[in-house]
């Protein structure tokens, strides 16, 4: 039995690092490129597995060369691949990523590919593994009805659920009652609440607004400022680790993976957040998304 099930996508991240992120119409000369594993779901699964968590990844890929990269990544990281559907008629997802090498900040265009065709009718096997999991973690890169169905089933079967609401997009209100932990970054928190997050007080207001929608616990990640947590009573603010960030791609995924791992080990909330914060901080010190996830010994 897997302790943690992650539903999400794999994409091959094709990233270009340069002196800046080019503006519309501009061409610049960059300094490095890399093709590596990405996709929020896959990154989060890798983060959990590298910490030593037992994780099952639920997804869909093609049989093209990027599909092979997906399987190699999962196998190398000891992630259960039984629930990764392979369809020879579909393309594996890809993402074009532009990284500013000075700040580590990025701009990303994701082509979801195979998993964009996911349907509720094809995930019976996957649903069973979710039901048996302790923790269910997902994002918003798959068709909403599939995500909602899985969250609902997870909650009805006693799983702890985490929704990383990224990329930010409209979700029906029904989602909220099935979420234990909601983990937006600042931009996503603004999208869901209309409150621009510039400091701890804004984060607190945004969290209150989300709790009023019916979500149980809110974690707003604040980039290099750290994170804010609230369950409506207890509030925690943790500063980010002081690291030299060179590429923040996948920092949020490292955070969610680290957090799910902490929860699966039944650590108290503060410790789960500390693990997540540390894992995420370390992930920014390496290039790439999936490949930048730290191992248990690193934390």
Is 185 a binding residue for ligand ADP by CB under 6 A? The answer is: yes
Residue with smallest beta-carbon separation from ligand ADP: 252
Distance in Å, CB of 278 to ligand ADP, minimum:
8
Site for ligand ADP, residues 147 to 176, rule: CB under 6 A: 166
Other Cβ atoms within 10 Å of 145 Cβ, number: 12
Is 243 a binding residue for ligand ADP by CB under 6 A? The answer is: yes
44 contacts 253 by C-beta, under 8 angstroms: yes
Among 223, 262, 288, 290, binds ligand ADP (CB under 6 A): 223
Q: Looking at 17-25, 71-79, 82-90, 223-231, which segment touches ligand ADP (CB under 6 A)? A: 223-231
CA 159 to chain centre: 18
Site for ligand ADP, residues 191 to 210, rule: CB under 6 A: none
CA dihedral 129, 132, 135, 140 (to 10 degrees): 30
Among 221, 230, 264, 292, binds ligand ADP (CB under 6 A): 221
- Count of positions on this chain that bind ligand ADP (CB under 6 A): 20
Distance in Å, CB of 60 to ligand ADP, minimum:
23
Among 8, 252, 288, 294, binds ligand ADP (CB under 6 A): 252
CA angle 47, 53, 56 (to 5 degrees): 85
Is 138 a binding residue for ligand ADP by CB under 6 A? The answer is: no
> Measuring CA to CA, how many Å separate 211 from each of 12, 75, 179, 206, 225?
35, 38, 11, 9, 22
Instruction: Mention every residue, 6+ apart, whose C-beta is less than 8 A from residue 111.
Output: 11, 91, 93, 94, 95
Catalytic residues: 253
Distance in Å, CB of 44 to ligand ADP, minimum:
11
Beta-sheet strands, E only, within 77-193: 84-86, 93-100, 106-111, 135-138, 160-163, 181-182
Environment class of residue 157 by beta-carbon count within 10 Å: exposed (0-12), middle (13-18) or buried (19+)?
Answer: middle
Among 66, 182, 228, 255, binds ligand ADP (CB under 6 A): 255
> Measuring CA to CA, how many Å separate 87 from each of 63, 90, 270, 278?
6, 6, 42, 37
Closer to ligand ADP at the Cβ: 161 or 185? 185
Is 281 a binding residue for ligand ADP by CB under 6 A? The answer is: yes
Q: Binding residues for ligand ADP, per CB under 6 A?
A: 166, 185, 221-224, 226-227, 240-241, 243, 245, 248, 251-252, 255, 277, 280-281, 284
């Amino acid at each position: 039995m897997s302790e943690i099930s992650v539903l999400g996508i794999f994409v091959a991240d094709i990233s270009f690092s340069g002196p800046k992120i080019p503006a519309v119409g501009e061409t610049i000369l960059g300094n490095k490129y890399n093709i590596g594993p990405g996709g929020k779901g896959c990154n989060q699964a890798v983060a959990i597995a590298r910490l030593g968590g037992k994780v099952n990844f639920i997804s869909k890929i093609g049989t093209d060369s990027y599909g092979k990269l997906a399987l190699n990544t999962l196998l190398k990281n000891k992630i259960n691949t039984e629930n990764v559907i392979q369809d020879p008629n579909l393309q594996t997802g890809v993402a074009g990523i532009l990284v500013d090498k000075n700040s580590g900040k990025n701009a990303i265009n994701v082509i979801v590919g195979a998993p964009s065709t996911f349907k509720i009718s094809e995930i019976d096997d996957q649903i069973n593994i979710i039901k048996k999991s302790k923790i269910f973690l997902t994002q918003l890169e798959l068709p909403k009805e599939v995500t909602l169905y899985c969250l609902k089933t997870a909650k009805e079967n006693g799983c702890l659920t985490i929704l990383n609401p990224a990329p930010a997009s409209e979700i029906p209100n029904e989602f909220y009652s099935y979420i234990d932990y909601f983990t937006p970054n600042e931009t996503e928190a603004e999208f869901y609440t209309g409150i621009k997050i510039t400091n701890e007080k804004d984060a607190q207001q945004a969290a209150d607004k989300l709790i009023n929608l019916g979500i149980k616990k809110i974690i707003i990640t604040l980039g290099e400022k750290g994170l804010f947590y609230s369950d409506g009573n207890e509030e925690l603010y943790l500063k980010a680790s002081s690291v030299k960030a060179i590429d923040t791609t996948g920092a949020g995924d490292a955070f969610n993976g680290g957090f799910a791992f902490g929860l699966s080990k039944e650590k108290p909330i503060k410790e789960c957040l500390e693990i997540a914060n540390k894992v995420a901080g370390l992930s920014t010190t390496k290039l790439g998304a999936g490949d930048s996830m730290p191992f248990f010994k690193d934390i």
